[in-house]
Amino acid sequence: MSETTAENLQYRFDGPEDAPALVIGPSLGTTWHMWDRQIAELTQHWRVFRFDLPGHGGAPAHPATSVGELTDRLLATLDGLGVQRFGYAGCSIGGAIGADLALRHPHRVASLALVASSARFGSADEFRQRGVIVRTNGLEPMARTAPERWFTSGFAAAQPAIVEWAVQMVRTTDPGCYIAACEALAAFDIRTELGRIGVPTLVLVGAEDKVTGPGDARTLVAGIPDARLALVPGASHLAPVEQPGAVTDLLLTHFSAAWQDTQAAIPVLPVAPPLSAPVLPVAEITAATAQPAAPSEGRADPYQPGMRIRREVLGDAHVDGVMAASDDFTDGFQELVTRYAWGEVWSREGLDRRTRSTVTLTALVASGHLEGLAAHVSAALRNGLTPAEIREVLLQTAVYCGIPAAGAAFTIAQSVIQAETTPPA
């Protein structure tokens, strides 16, 4: 066994040094220890490489705000260790990294397992809202609600020590790195690219997963040409922790059967291990769901990037509401706002989004256009301003823009901040 901290990612090796490599990735808020109960059996056949996300498990707190950046750091770490080709299994955001690997570096991945993962994780609003709550309240709200997201109620009641162990992984995570990972998940969407994943893929999901459930898994299987679906009864999001035997058996079966004709791939076991009853890998390929149209090539028109930035800053729910309320009379105005305000100005590199939010709040108060203030207070929280910083901006406007306008702004902002930063019950 080897354990160390690399410049790019914290990692550890388990298993024989001369065995083929199997890389295993964690989920958000966990560490490599979420896979502890798989290691004894996996290392009988493979040299297992586990890694921690930035700021997780004591890893250096260097935030990565995209799945692609996490993938690049992982590959840089593996390159430094001389690991060129490997099998890969990842849970949740760890699965997103695996899918990104298969899309951008297919020659490196012999076989893939996506555990409790998705082509798109919920909504961008959900994860950016989670970032706002952590920035304001720390990680305790996420730790408190982790058991209901990660485990079935029966397991949580029967195994309180394991649940508390899992919750402690959240509490010890760096908040800034957790927020960055939320941003990465908010921006992750490979629904239109699934057909380009060309490696044998196991999509494994807990039958009771409420985070990335069987519906998300079936979307992956429908889109990936060589994929099968394994449903694990009695498991929620952290299936490797809740049903370790079943998950281990499924991984052993998949990696031993896949890529047996490839010299550098995972070797074939003499006899495929039996699955833990009553769990069986269930092959289900469903009709692909309707996918968004692929973006046109080139960037002659700033409308599409403008809409993307508008949604990132203001949130899908707000933009969807505005666009739904538009009609023939106002469509042109909405197009102008998206194309020029968001596609031309908000997209410029001269100011970061925090600064642009500060300027926007000040301008709205100064001009008396308070009807737009609530949306931009919410946007400011998304862009990284804290409630204390928003308070200081409004105090500054009181001096230079007038107390009545600032007073009305405080009332609006207070209501928005309370709604946005109050953790779920």
pLDDT digits (tens, 9 = 90+) for 191-233: 999 999 999 999 999 999 999 999 999 999 999 999 999 999 9
Strands (E), 267-404: none
CB 421 within 8 Å of CB 132: yes
* Residue 122 clears pLDDT 80, i.e. is over it: yes
Q: Which residues contact 215 (CB under 8 A, 6 or more apart)?
A: none
Angle between helices 140-150 and 124-137 (to 10 degrees): 140
- Domain extents in the chain: 2-257, 303-421
Return the CATH fold of 2-257. Answer: Rossmann fold (3.40.50)
| pLDDT value, residue 8 | 85
Angle at 88 (CA atoms; ends 11, 43), nearest 5 degrees: 65
On whether the pTM is more than 0.75, the answer is: yes
Q: Are strands 47-51 and 10-14 parallel, antiparallel or unpaired?
A: antiparallel
pLDDT, tens digit, for every residue of 18-34? Answer: 999 999 999 999 999 99
Q: Minimum mean pLDDT among 182-196, 259-273, 376-390: which range?
A: 259-273
Burial class of residue 418 in the structure, from the number of CB atoms within 10 Å of its CB (0-12 exposed, 13-18 middle, 19+ buried)? exposed
Mean per-residue pLDDT of the chain? 88
CB 247 within 8 Å of CB 89: no
How far apart are alpha carbons 271 and 253 in whole angstroms?
Answer: 9
DSSP helix, strand, coil percent of the chain (3-state; round to 5): 55, 10, 35
CB 173 within 8 Å of CB 27: no
DSSP 296: P
Query: Which band of pLDDT confidence, cut at 50, 70 and 90, is reported for residue 258?
Result: low
Q: Identify the architecture of domain 303-421 in CATH.
A: Up-down Bundle (1.20)
In order, the DSSP letters of 19-34 are: SPEEEEEPPTT--GGG
Q: Are strands 2-5 and 47-51 parallel, antiparallel or unpaired?
A: unpaired
- Would you tell me how many other CB atoms lie within 10 Å of the CB of residue 84? 12
Nearest to 117 by CA among 142, 88, 144: 88
Query: Which band of pLDDT confidence, cut at 50, 70 and 90, is reported for residue 4?
Result: very low
How far apart are alpha carbons 324 and 90 in whole angstroms?
Answer: 38
Nearest to 49 by CA among 108, 118, 123, 119: 108
Q: Which residues contact 302 (CB under 8 A, 6 or more apart)?
A: 339, 340, 343, 344, 347
Angle at 267 (CA atoms; ends 281, 233), nearest 5 degrees: 15
* Residue 307 clears pLDDT 50, i.e. is over it: yes
Q: Once rounded to an integer, what is the mean pLDDT over residues 264-269?
A: 37
Q: Minimum mean pLDDT among 9-13, 171-175, 315-319: which range?
A: 315-319
| pLDDT value, residue 193 | 96
Cα distances (angstroms) measured from residue 53 to each of 32, 39, 58, 128, 227 = 9, 19, 10, 18, 26
Query: Which band of pLDDT confidence, cut at 50, 70 and 90, is reported for residue 66?
Result: very high
Token pair recorded at residue 251: 């991984």
How far apart are alpha carbons 161 and 269 in whole angstroms?
Answer: 35
